[in-house]
Amino acid sequence: MKVIPLKSRLLLFLKRFITCSCCFFILWIFLDEYDVYSMPYNQSIPLQPLIDKASEGETIVLSSGTYAGPVIVDKSVTLQGDSTVTLVNKEAAPAISIQADGVILGDFIVKQEYVAEFGAIQVSGKNTTLSGLSVHTQGYGIVLRKAFEGVIQNNEVIWSGPEQVSSAQKGNGIDLYASQYIRITDNVITGMRDGIYMENSWDTEVMDNTLTRSRYAIHCMYLVRPKITNNTGEHNITGAMIMGVQEATVLNNSFRKQSANVHSQGIMMYDVQNSKISHNTLEGNRVGLYIQESSGNEISQNDVVRNFVGVQLLDAEGNELHSNRFVSNVIEAQAVESQNNIIRNNYWDTFQGLDLNRDGASEMAYAINPFYQELVRRKAPFQLFFQSPGMLFLSELHTEGRADWTTDISPLMRLDTNSIAMGKQNPSHRIVPWLGALLMLVSACSMIYLGGKQR
């Protein structure tokens, strides 16, 4: 029998020990990652049992992890999470259905991965508060039906389905029907059919929301006394579509760059009665302000800037348009069958009037000549001659049907220095002239220097 030296045995033992340790370490990492002795690493935590065990008024603090939907909240509880908490629903039901009063959801992620005509969060109770939620949906976002006195604030709703689908195949970001006293504020909604849709509801407040890349940023149908204030809409087909609405307040909103569609408008009013549209910024849209079959409305202090058509009226009577600012619009105003509106004290940047008593308003009325808009309607390439000397000359010769022209009886002579149109909100408007002057100065100095050097 061959005797193995002690040193060789120790080396052999050491090699086997290192090999076994490495294998154990690799196996431990594998088991830790996949947790094969308990539940899979990516398996969801059931949420419904936590709600069922909770008592009325209890706060359920959700620990980090992924929870399984759908769930039904049928008692007054608070579900409180954070950015590490995600509820995922893949079944044919809302991820969260709120059927009780006084429910609060806060600060977690909801992923609705089932494509259907219902919301990721469906609310039918009273006094519901939804705050700090991030809703990713392939259907609707937050849906309220016959809800009362709810608050929806600081949430984001994002379309998570295929990008190539049309807006008609998507759902609305926040959708209200037959609901009262709902406050919708500080939400961010992107890529939905309509950002905020409201129908047959009363006394809703829509404030400080940001709405982009949808069909209508805000869509109102048959509402009474809605308040739409301080919202921002960009790159939608239409900023605010207001239809069949009474006593609305549309104040301090900004609707820009709605121009990709032939029907794009900043604000569209259809069958709107006794409402106030004031201090809004309508910039870079196809039509800044569209008013059809509406009456008794006050439209004032709006900045209508760089739109193709500033304001368009169709069968609109009994409205008052005053103190608005129309700047750099291709066509300032169009009116069809809309002779009985009061138009006064607006600023039109193409108007040259006469202010004899120095009150800031012209004693000469401004009848907006439709020659250019009729010419462009017949021959679109003539847009290239917008405000050219020849076009202005031909417009002056056109006087046919002057009695039916849209007329401002006392247009303003000066632009309000506090307006958006004056560039108050855009510092680049002030920088560009100075930059141009600086470049001209540098060019002049260079020419003088080079000229002297050559001599």
Handedness of CA 421, 422, 425, 430 (dihedral sign): positive
Which 8-state DSSP code applies to residue 43? P
Residue whose tokens read 């045995």 = 9
For residue 70, is the peptide bond before it cis, meaning its omega torsion is within 30 degrees of 0?
Answer: yes
pTM summary value: 0.79
Instruction: For residue 36, give the 3-state DSSP assignment.
Output: coil
Position 308: which residue type?
Answer: F
Query: Measured between alpha carbons, how far is 351 from 369 in angstroms, rounded to an integer?
Result: 11
End-to-end CA distance of the chain: 111
> 433-449, pLDDT tens digit by residue?
444 445 455 555 555 55
pLDDT of residue 429: 40
Task: Describe the chain by its helix, strand, coil percentages, rounded to 5.
Answer: 20, 35, 45
> How confident is the model at residue 205, as a pLDDT?
98
User: What's the pLDDT score for residue 375?
Assistant: 64
Of 92, 111, 88, nearest in space to 161 by CA: 111
Q: How far apart are CA 231 and CA 220, in angstroms?
A: 14
**pLDDT value of residue 433:** 44
pLDDT digits (tens, 9 = 90+) for 184-225: 999 999 999 999 999 999 999 999 999 999 999 999 999 999
State which H helix or E strand residue 28 sits in.
Answer: helix 6-34
Alpha carbon 380 to chain centroid, angstroms: 31
Q: What sign for the dihedral angle of Cα 113, 114, 119, 125? A: negative
CATH code matching the domain that covers 46-344, chosen among 3.40.190.10, 3.90.180.10, 3.40.50.300, 2.160.20.10: 2.160.20.10
The pLDDT assigned to 217 comes to: 97
Q: What is the pLDDT, as a whole number, of residue 367?
A: 81
pLDDT value for 170: 92
pLDDT of residue 33: 43
Beta strands in 178-225 (DSSP E): 183-185, 188-190, 194-199, 205-207, 210-212, 216-221
In this prediction, the residues of the chain whose per-residue pLDDT falls under 50 are 27, 30-41, 424-437, 439, 455
